[in-house]
Amino acid sequence: MKLKIGDQAPSIQMLDSDGNSFAIPGSNKVVLYFYPKDNTPGCTAQACNLNENLDALKAKGFQVVGVSIDSNASHTKFKAKFNLQFPLLSDPEHEIAEAFGVWVEKSMYGKQYMGVARTTFIIDEKGIITDIIEKVDTKNHSSQIH
């Protein structure tokens, strides 16, 4: 089932790559962004754009959280390399990606495979999805968040 604006977001309660607790619903509005892989050009551009605009997003009441199937060890290196100041969640079994409907069949060079569709969910404090961004502009992603 595809999630839509107004739906209750799937509940999440887990530790991020820094060992801090993260939950949806939580005490903040959340920019929950799913991305394919640490240290790839598009994913790095997206993370860095969000990081560069983090203060402005926080001023609007948002907490930014990234999710990929990479390990916490990979996330730790990725965060350190680019000085990312927001949490990353490791979803190696793609349970969160499946719950949010972003674990999809993809195609590259004629080969079919399963992977994460780059998608951002804006979720309010009660866990309601208020926006879904499917056409992510990786270099200017923060400007898409309202």
Predicted confidence (pLDDT) per residue in 49-107, tens digit: 999 999 999 999 999 999 999 999 999 999 999 999 999 999 999 999 999 999 999 98
pTM: 0.95
Contact 78, 84 (CB under 8 A): yes
Instruction: List beta partners, residue 66.
Output: 33, 88
Domain limits for position 88: 12-144
N- to C-terminal Cα separation, the chain: 25
The active-site residue, picked from 32, 43, 54, 84, is 43
> Which CATH number is 99's domain given?
3.40.30.10
Q: Could you confirm whether 48 is annotated as catalytic?
A: no
- pLDDT by residue (tens digit) across 6-52? 999 999 999 999 999 999 988 889 999 999 999 999 999 999 999 99
- 3-class state of residue 127 by DSSP: coil
Integer Cα distance of 82 and 100 in angstroms? 27
Q: What's the order of all strands across the beta sheet hosting 88-90? A: 88-90, 62-68, 29-34, 119-123, 129-133
Residue 1 pLDDT more than 80? no
In a domain, 115, yes or no: yes
Split into its structural domains, the chain has a count of 1
